[in-house]
A and B are shown apart, each in its own frame.
Chain A
Amino acid sequence: MTQTHRIPGKGLLIDRARPVRFTFDGVEVQGFHGDTLASALLANGQRMIARSFKYHRPRGVMTAGSEDPSALVEVLEGSQQTPNVRATTQEIHEGLTARSQNRIGSLRHDLLAVNDWLAPFFSAGFYYKTFMWPRAFWERLYEPAIRRAAGLGSLSGHHDVAVYEKAWAHCDLLVIGAGPAGLMAALTAARAGAEVILADEDVRMGGRLLSDQPAVGGLSGPDWAARTVAELAAMPNVRLMTRTTVTGAYDDGTFGALERVGLHVPAPGDLPRECFWRIVARRAILAAGALERPIAHPDNDRPGVMLASGLVSHVAKWGVNPGRVVIFSNNDSGLATARHLTAQGIEIAAYVDPRAIPVTEDFPVYAQATVTGTRGRHGLRDVAVTHAGGTSMIPARTLALAGGWNPTLHLTCHMNGRPVWEESLAAFVPKPGMVPGLSVAGAARGRFSTAACLADGVEVAGEVLRDLSLRPKKTPVPEAEDAPYAIAPLWAVDAGGRAWLDFANDVTTKDVRLAAQEGYASVEHMKRYTTQGMAPDQGKSSNVAALAVLAEATGQGIPATGTTTYRPPFVPVSIGALGAGGRAEGFAPQRLLTSDAKSRAMGAPMIEAGLWYRPSYFPRAGENDWRTACDREVAQVREAVGTCDVSTLGKIDVQGRDAARFLDFVYTNTMSTLKPGRVRYGLMLREDGFVMDDGTCARLAEDHFLVTTTTAAAGLVMRHMDFVHQAFCADWDVRLISVTEAWAQFALAGPKSRAVLASLGIRADLPFMGCTHIDLGGVRARLFRISFSGEEGYEIAVPTRYGASLFEALLSAVHAEGGCAYGMEALNVLRIEKGFITHAEIHGRVTADDVGLGRMVSAKKDCIGKAAAHRPGLTEPGREQLVGLMPVNQGETLSAGAHLYNERDLATRENNQGYVTSVAPSPTLGCWLGLGFVKDGRSRMGQVIRLDDGLRGHKVLVEICDPVFFDPEGGRMRG
């Protein structure tokens, strides 16, 4: 192909000195730098670009923008593939590879075109009425067939490895759209000193000035736009964003915007494909112009049928030669288009207008006439024009539809606002104030002439500036055409056959009328029943006409019929862009221990614990599974000593004269009686009476406590304590701060832990549950004598920057005593052997009594959760209580997640006696141990019950026992 359909000398955006080769459907095509895929294909005479959604009708290019309902293609890059790309916005570049989509076979010979023949049976909602028999056929036959036929383009199925970005921007004024209104608004505001962001979807700013090219202030439209943009670009308080579509209006002046950064570049390198912007603006002006709409007439969907505005753009911006053109218009802008094109040497074969207009033009005019059909299998050949004298078949290559203009008011409705019907424009216009801080200027609020748009930009900017307490400088409005706009609404031409309203979803006037006939008569029912407006273009070209046809069918009138809801985004946004940064590890912060590098170097598999990574176990040579390493680590702790990084536990520093009193209020037990230098285990309830968290509370000084939380609940407990303080006792002298990140903390556990301390030069004369400040090689550290293993245990805390070196020192010292580092697996075994609970047990539905800690709720004082914990449902018999579980046959394994049933009962919900929460293979006791909950469990000690894990086909008889399996007296801990 050789660009046979290019008009010499025309094409504002193309650089004829820079030919660009790309391929479409495997064929190499040449265009020019600045072309879109659509303009380049049209310039090469290719009008058919796509197959329609449902009937697989041949389709071409209708518009020159992102709103195009038909020209959707796939773009390929290696193994990556982007579906549903608008050919009208995809700029071509060297090596661009695109192909048509939604077809079986080639674009010209699509097997699914058979659907078009079956159209009578595929009326709106037909699928609700059939495919019901036989039942099993739905999933096996009907649905797979429907799914294969539906959809448009395809994803590759490979990970999208491209780069996307997100960014923030802040400004005084966001101007959306850089046509005449937007440019004047931005200029007015920028000259007044406002921080302005001007965002425009297109490659070059100017809007319709670049297409219609009216004279502005004595210059051509494009020249005036270029001069204005240059002035703006030179101002330090202005940021110009081209290729940027504002996609959504959100609360408090936050807008979403999508910038196409690398999509038009052959080798983008580090450039992201797209950047999703969050623009926070004190005020915003929507100057997004208006979108032209088609007219529904029989067979109005063939390649070659375009919107008049799309045609004008293709001629002006890319020099596309449309051949003989028929224009079908019901308004003055269509007539102006006919004159404009004629002046540029385009042959207007007919201008067709249902109105009684004078017939004094340089082209054939058919007044009081309509287009009643088209011919041409893969592209328009003839247009049937019905007029007073009958029907004429007029040969034409392009049919331009000019059905009037819909203001691009979508963003004003993103907060559930509805626009109002303006009879004189036969269009909806925005209602002021629907999005706080967002004003509308120009064609977006129905000011359609160039002069009106320019003036409106100045005026609206002036209003906004006053709100921003800025003084507008006098900005003269340049002179421009100010033609009136008159329209005689014509939504559909009834002449038999199918007349398309929604080209993207293949919805015809018949479908809308059928919906009304069947009672789906509200606009929302019609939309949902016919799928009108639910396609990739979200009904941009069809919504108003469809509801007009519905209004006619129901006799309700357009204002009473109303619109459906406008929802963001204004144009579809890739998940990659909106989810930028989420890929791979980026989804959530990674919190690393100070011992992380060393643990990894020791070969420890790291596992996620909330946002943290913790070592699972530390394998030694020859240890090929977790179990071997874990058994060894447990044994070494029980027999010698082990060390473990416990820094993930939440740490909250509590200080003040009323700190003790405050802690008495948040803990169920009493902390005010704790002596300085001592530690107490504490339990917190939620205000609804269930256990929130457990941990320790150390009294470092009279007015200074350190509270620890579980890893999982650190943030929750911090918020909770802040709430209790600020809401209920803000007048108490107490201050709270999270110090989780400030301290690295390591557990030492085992009979030789004291020896390890000694080797580190720490005098270990601390009583069980004692705490003290220590000096560790000149570093002020803290030592706690607490145990989560049941052995004599200590925890040493140092400022985080010393964590890595302390871990190294502990490792050496521990190894010297025949000990080891231990990981989460061993930690878990050790705590289960001792019946210590974690969030597996305190899972949010348990009371203090359920986990055997009822006595920890002090009767002497109020505390958070105490009142609600006394509700009858939380105190009555029959609750599930924490118990230990041991296999009756010692060699059998237990599984967490199993349920518990009486020995002879079937495993049904009604028979359920409880469930297992934690299990561990205990090398110490030589069998598996479990913790779980059993109805009235504490009164069932010694009973045998069946552990039933139907999911894994595992059944074991277990004995209910005390949850403390090892050293129940606690002699080892106390040393």
Chain B
Amino acid sequence: MRIPCPCCGSRDRREFTYYGASVFLDRPAEDAGLEAWDAYLHLRDNPAGVTRDLWYHDPCQSWIEVERDTVTHAILSTAPVARRRA
């Protein structure tokens, strides 16, 4: 598996560390309540198909949101996580 790092180009999977679904980007407010935090931390759509998840490219320290297919492993797009707020 090779992942196009937006910073470094196509790299072998072994340079990356996986975190989980990109729902981790949508952090609830401190007082959002148990349900919201449960949904954020634990509950997953877990799709068999296209998903978005989070990978860290260790050499360049970029967190990347990867759009890919969990059935075929095809990678559809990648974008730096930081772009959302920067």
A254 to B14, CA, bound (A): 13
Q: Mark A702-722, 1 if CB is under 8 A from B, else 0.
A: 000000000000000011001
Within 8 A of B (CB), among A826-872: 862, 866-868, 871
Contacts of A524 in B (CB 8 A): none
Give the nearest-CB partner of A731 in chain B. Answer: B85
Q: How far is the CA of A415 from the CA of B74 in the complex (A)?
A: 11
Contacts of A867 in B (CB 8 A): 28-32, 37
Quick check: is B48 within 8 A (CB to CB) of the other chain? no
Q: Are A687 and B41 in contact (CB under 8 A)?
A: yes
* Given A688-B41, A722-B56, residue A251 in contact with residue B73 (CB < 8 A): yes
Q: Is the Cβ of A719 less than 8 Å from the Cβ of B85? A: no
Q: Answer yes or no: A905 CB below 8 A from chain B CBs.
A: no
Find out whether the CB atom of B19 lies under 8 angstroms from the CB atom of A729.
no
Q: Output the least CB separation between A469 and chain B (Å).
A: 17
Inter-chain residue pair count (beta carbon < 8 A): 77
Contact of B2 among A254, A688, A729, A737 (CB under 8 A): A254
- In the assembly, what is the distance between CA of A492 and CA of B31, in Å? 72
Q: Which residues on B sit within 8 Å (CB–CB) of A607?
A: none
Interface flag for B72 (CB, 8 Å): yes
Q: In this assembly, does A601 line the interface, its C-beta being within 8 Å of a C-beta of chain B?
A: no
A723 on interface, CB distance cutoff 8 Å: yes
Whether A136 is near chain B, meaning CB under 8 Å from some CB there, is no
Shortest beta-carbon distance, A837 to chain B, in Å? 25
Q: Which of A716-769 contact B (CB under 8 A)?
A: 718-719, 722-723, 725-731, 736-737
Query: Which residues in A have their C-beta under 8 angstroms from that of B2?
Result: 251-254, 280
Query: A731 and B86 in contact (CB under 8 A), knowing A250-B1, A436-B74, A687-B41?
Result: yes
Distance in Å: Cβ of A54 to nearest Cβ of chain B: 38
Q: Which residues of A contact B12 (CB under 8 A)?
A: 254, 280
Residues from chain A with a CB closer than 8 A to the CB of B13 are 251
B residues in contact with A730, CB < 8 Å? 81-86
Residues of B close to A688: CB separation below 8 A: 41
Cβ of B61 within 8 Å of any chain A Cβ, yes or no, is: yes
A737 neighbours in B (Cβ, 8 Å): 61
Q: Count A-side interface residues using an 8 Å CB cutoff.
A: 28
Residue in A closest to B83 when the chains form the complex, CB atoms:
A730
Main secondary structure of the interface of B (DSSP, over half): mixed
Selected from B24, B34, B41, B58, the residue in CB contact (under 8 A) with A727 is B24
The residues of A that contact B37 with a CB separation of less than 8 Å are 867-868, 871
Query: Which residue on B lies nearest to A436, using beta carbons?
Result: B74
> A595-638 CB contact bits vs B (8 Å, 1 = yes)?
00000000000000000000000000000000000000000000
Given A723-B63, A868-B41 in contact, is the A254-B1 Cβ separation under 8 Å? yes
Which residue among A250, A251, A729 has the maximum number of chain B CB atoms within 10 Å of its CB?
A251
Q: Which residues of B contact A722 (CB under 8 A)?
A: 56, 61, 63
Cβ of B70 within 8 Å of any chain A Cβ, yes or no, is no
A89 CA / B58 CA spacing, docked (Å): 42
For B84, give the chain A residue with the smallest CB separation: A730
Q: Would you give the shortest CB distance from A872 to chain B, in whole angstroms? A: 8
Contact indicator A726/B82 (Cβ below 8 Å): yes
What is the 8 Å Cβ interface bit string for chain B, positions 22-63, against chain A (1 contact, 0 not)? 001101111110100100010000000000001010100111
Residues of A within 8 A of B17 (CB): 719
For B22, give the chain A residue with the smallest CB separation. Answer: A727
Cα distance A801–B18 in the bound complex, in angstroms:
34
* B residues in contact with A436, CB < 8 Å: 72, 74
Chain B residues with Cβ below 8 Å from A862 are: 29-30
Residues of chain B within 8 A (CB-CB) of A868 are 37, 41
Q: Shortest beta-carbon distance, A161 to chain B, in Å?
A: 27
CB pair A727–B81 under 8 Å, yes or no, is yes
Given the complex, which residues of B lie within 8 Å of A251, measured CB to CB? 1-2, 13, 73
Best-surrounded residue of B10, B29, B62, B85 (most CB of chain A within 10 A): B85
Chain B residues bordering chain A, tally (CB within 8 A): 35
Q: Across the interface, do A871 and B61 meet the contact criterion of CB distance under 8 Å?
A: no
Q: How far is the CA of A280 from the CA of B3 in the complex (A)?
A: 13
Complex alpha-carbon distance, A726 and B25, angstroms: 10
B30 CB, nearest partner CB in chain A, Å: 4
Residues from chain A with a CB closer than 8 A to the CB of B73 are 251-252, 415
| Most chain A CB inside 10 Å of its own CB: which residue of B32, B80, B81 | B81
Give the residues in chain A near B54, CB-CB below 8 Å.
723, 727
B43 to chain A, nearest CB (A): 13
CB distance from B27 to the nearest CB of A (A): 6
Q: How far, in angstroms, from A866 to B84 measured CA to CA in the complex?
A: 24
Q: Decide yes or no whether B21 CB sits under 8 A from chain A.
A: no
Name A863's closest neighbour in chain B (CB-CB): B30
CA distance A391 to B41 in the complex (A): 75
Complex CA distance for A729 and B83, rounded to whole angstroms: 10
Name the residue of chain A whose CB is nearest to the CB of B71.
A416
> In whole angstroms, how far apart are the Cα atoms of A730 and B85 in the complex?
5
Contact of A727 with B25 at beta-carbon distance under 8 Å, contacts A254-B1, A868-B37, A868-B41 already known: yes
From B56, B72, B82, B84, contact of A719 by CB (8 A): B56
Q: Known: A250-B1, A253-B2, A436-B74. Is A726-B62 also a contact (CB below 8 A)?
A: yes
Q: Chain A nearest CB: distance from B51 CB in Å? A: 15
Interface centre among A415, A725, A736, A866 (most CB of B within 10 A): A725
Nearest B residue (CB) for A250? B1
- Give Cα A718 to B29, complex, Å: 24
CA of A727 to CA of B85, assembled, Å = 8
Interface of chain A residues 621 through 657 with chain B (CB within 8 A): none
Q: Which residue of chain B has the shortest Cβ distance to A862 in the bound complex?
A: B30
Bound Cα distance from A765 to B53, whole angstroms:
51
A241–B41 CA distance with the chains assembled, in angstroms: 50
Contacts of A719 in B (CB 8 A): 17, 56, 58
CB closest chain-A residue, reference B25: A727
Contact B1 A252 (CB under 8 A): yes
Whether the pair A728, B85 counts as a contact (CB closer than 8 A) is yes
Partner of B63, one of A250, A727, A729: A727
Shortest CB distance B63–A (Å): 4
CB within 8 Å for A415 and B63 given contacts A280-B2, A727-B24, A729-B85 = no
* Complex interface: chain A residues within 8 A of B58 (CB): 719
Question: Complex: how many Å from CA A254 to CA B75?
Answer: 14
Q: What is the 8 Å Cβ interface bit string for chain A, positions 881-903, against chain B (1 contact, 0 not)?
A: 00000000000000000000000
Q: Kindly report which residue of chain B lies nearest to residue A251, judged by CB atoms.
A: B1
Q: B41 to nearest A CB, angstroms?
A: 6
Which of B31, B34, B56, B72 meets A871, CB within 8 Å?
B34
- Bound: A719/B32 CA distance, A: 25
Q: Are B72 and A415 in contact (CB under 8 A)?
A: yes
Interface centre among B17, B62, B82 (most CB of A within 10 A): B82
A726 contacts across to B, CB distance below 8 A: 62-63, 80-82
CA distance A871 to B12 in the complex (A): 39
Q: Would you call B25 and A252 a contact (CB within 8 A)?
A: no
Interface centre among B13, B28, B31, B37 (most CB of A within 10 A): B37
In the complex, residue of chain B having the shortest beta-carbon distance to the beta carbon of A728:
B27
**CA–CA, A250 and B2, complex, Å:** 10
A243-256 Cβ-contact flags toward B at 8 Å (1 or 0):
00000001111100
Chain A residues within an 8 Å CB radius of B24: 723, 727
Q: How far is the CA of A879 from the CA of B11 in the complex (A)?
A: 45
Determine which residue in A687, A729, A730, A866 has the highest number of CB atoms from chain B within 10 A of its CB, and name it.
A730
Cβ–Cβ < 8 Å partners of B31 in chain A = 867
A-B contact pairs, 9 of them (CB 8 A): A251-B73, A252-B75, A254-B2, A687-B27, A722-B61, A722-B63, A727-B27, A736-B61, A868-B41
List 9 A-B pairs, minimum CB-CB distance, nearest first: A730-B82, A252-B2, A251-B1, A726-B82, A730-B85, A730-B86, A862-B30, A726-B63, A251-B73
Taking A254-B1, A862-B30 as known contacts, 16 extra A-B pairs with beta carbons closer than 8 A to each other, sorted by chain A number, are A251-B2, A252-B2, A252-B10, A719-B58, A723-B24, A723-B81, A727-B84, A727-B85, A729-B85, A730-B82, A730-B83, A730-B84, A730-B85, A731-B86, A867-B28, A867-B37
